[in-house]
Structure 1
Amino acid sequence: MKTAFLGLGVMGGYMSANLAASGYSVNAWNRTSDRPGVKIALDAGANIVDSIQEAVTDVDIICTCVSDIPDVEAVILGENGVIHFAKPGAIIIDFSTIGSAAARHISQQLEPAQIQFLDAPVSGGDIGAKNGTLTIMVGGNEKIFETAKPILETMGKNIRYCGNVGSGQAVKLCNQILCSLNLVGICEAMLLAEKQGIDPNLVVEICSTGAAGSWALSNLGLKVAHGDFEPGFMIKHILKDLRIIQEMVNSDLPLPGTELADHLFKIVQKLDQGLGGNQGTQAMIRAYNRS
């Protein structure tokens, strides 16, 4: 199958590279051509193109991985979007996190053009994207999922069909609550270790093997301990996800833990003259010491 990959950011660059390295023909496009992900994709064998039209014309599978709902809609449904150039029967796999309602809306808009749609948000950060070990949560027609599964297997290790369109997004939003609250626990555990004169690295090493163990502790706990705030997943992106969650539940479902995590992330976002949101989510620790 011929493929296209649209969006070569922190995640998309590695994901498209794994797709190309697996032997697929990949037309890759990014809105900004000088991003590191563009070179990562190019070095892996992807064909870097200048437009969405050039990327998607006559391909079978079109992958998209961009930031927010307006970005996804612009890439897929916009004036120069996929909908105008993809052939009937093509499958779009969107790896962005946009919420169930947006996924269903996009799918409905694509139906008259006979373009299939799978929502397939991912978890695992840049490490999982680089290593091809992402967890991928997929919503859509199950037969279309089975057709696209070999593509997904080049990028992920844990690939789960969740149900109709929007179901992948629903599971991903639950995942984002867990990730956010895991970080609250990690930050406060690191602070308590410091107060007691305990090496935070020791806390990560020991607690990762017990009931408190998690991917977040093993991977982000060390970054918190070392003051490494380089982004695998940016604060501004988790804030977008938490915004979608809060808009969805409104006041019908109180989520005080989610509100706390949102508050802490927003404190960090305002640091560095408003550029704190470009740091990795582990920089939540800065909300406690404001440095």
Structure 2
Amino acid sequence: MVNNQVAFLGLGVMGAPMTVNLAHHNLSIKAWNRTNDRPWLENVTKSGATIVNSIREAVKSASIIFTCLGDIPDVEEVIFGDDGIVKYAPPHSIIVDFSTIGSQGARAIALKLKSHQIRFMDAPVSGGDIGAKNGTLTIMVGGDKQDFEEIKPYLEMVGKNITYCGEVGSGQAVKLCNQVLASLHMVALCEALQLAKTQKIDPNLIVDVCSTGAAGSWALTNLAPKIINQDYQPGFMIKHILKDLRLVKEVMENPDNYPGINLAQQLFNQVAQFDDAYLEGTQAMIKAYTDKNG
């Protein structure tokens, strides 16, 4: 049974459209963001969700609390900080965290929450801002199986492919593997487009032809056109993929055994040094190639 009272904390590029999709299912949502000057917050208000000024206002009557934040310190601050969730959330409420914080981070937070009688599910997502807007996200969930069944109806409001991966931290473990694939897809995409340029082939032809065959991918279909049009607006920022690759390396036994990951990290780091590129979308990796090759 769906509880009508929920909270959503973190109204960024992903969190805002996810909140909108939840609101469209007639939920009573109290939402909170650290800053209230983001242009997309107007869409959240128009959807019927109520943006409040404090975490306390958002969570005090919510049994389901969604968080969608940046990094481990952000999640820990929102949950355990001086004005955090644990001070105001009802006992036995459940936090569903859509952030990417790694399996170790998720397990540590879940363990700490036990003393506060609050449940925790890690539920990182994939699909970018496009998936968030369309409600077609892939969601990888870790935690208690019974808790998963409780939150699944909500996840179906924001996602299309929802998978229970196992105990707490398992969703994050799968997400880190997903980020490896996404990072290396971007390397392949950039190099294919550069090779097309070298051969004086229209890069749009690469998208049209290759996306229908064995080389097809989400990145080729959705991000190649942005690269071609020099559109580097973020659906997923370079700073976030660098954070995710840092988390990947934290669970590696031997980083030297992963040359592809090391290359992707090197290229993203290189582009992050360019003006404003740190806050651009991952498709801005192409700048590492154009900087070298023109």
Provide the TM-score with structure 1 as the length reference: 0.97
Shift of residue 38, structure 1, vs aligned partner: 2.0
The runs of at least 4 aligned residues of structure 1 exceeding 4 Å deviation read: none
Residue identity opposite 1:233 in structure 2: F
1:71-220 correspondence runs (5 A): 71-220=74-223
- Cα distance in 2 for partners of 1:119, 1:19 equals 18
Q: Deviations over 1:36-56 (max 9, x none)?
A: 342221111111100001000
Query: What percentage of residue pairs aligned between the two structures are identical?
Result: 59
> In the alignment, is the contact (CA less than 8 A) between 1:208 and 1:218 conserved in 2?
yes
- Cα distance in 2 for partners of 1:240, 1:50 equals 28
Question: Out of 231, 234, 247, which is 1:231 matched to?
Answer: 234
> In the alignment, is the contact (CA less than 8 A) between 1:30 and 1:38 conserved in 2?
no
Shift of residue 254, structure 1, vs aligned partner: 1.9
Classify the secondary structure of the residue corresponding to 2:214. Answer: coil
1:289 lines up with 2:286 in the alignment: no
Unaligned 5+ segments in structure 2 are: none
Q: Deviations over 1:66-114 (max 9, x none)?
A: 0000000000111111011100111100000000111011111111221
2:41 alignment partner in structure 1: 38
Q: Deviations over 1:151-199 (max 9, x none)?
A: 1111000000000000000000000000000000000000011111111
- Give the aligned length: 289
- Cα distance in 2 for partners of 1:75, 1:253 equals 35
- Cα distance in 2 for partners of 1:116, 1:36 equals 33
Classify the secondary structure of the residue corresponding to 1:184. Answer: helix
- Cα distance in 1 for partners of 2:150, 2:78 equals 23
- Cα distance in 1 for partners of 2:57, 2:256 equals 45
> In the alignment, is the contact (CA less than 8 A) between 1:235 and 1:265 conserved in 2?
yes
- Cα distance in 2 for partners of 1:35, 1:141 equals 35
RMSD: 1.1
> In the alignment, is the contact (CA less than 8 A) between 1:60 and 1:89 conserved in 2?
yes
Unaligned 5+ segments in structure 1 are: none
Q: Deviations over 1:204-234 (max 9, x none)?
A: 1110000000111100111112211110000
> In the alignment, is the contact (CA less than 8 A) between 1:77 and 1:106 conserved in 2?
no
- Cα distance in 2 for partners of 1:16, 1:256 equals 38
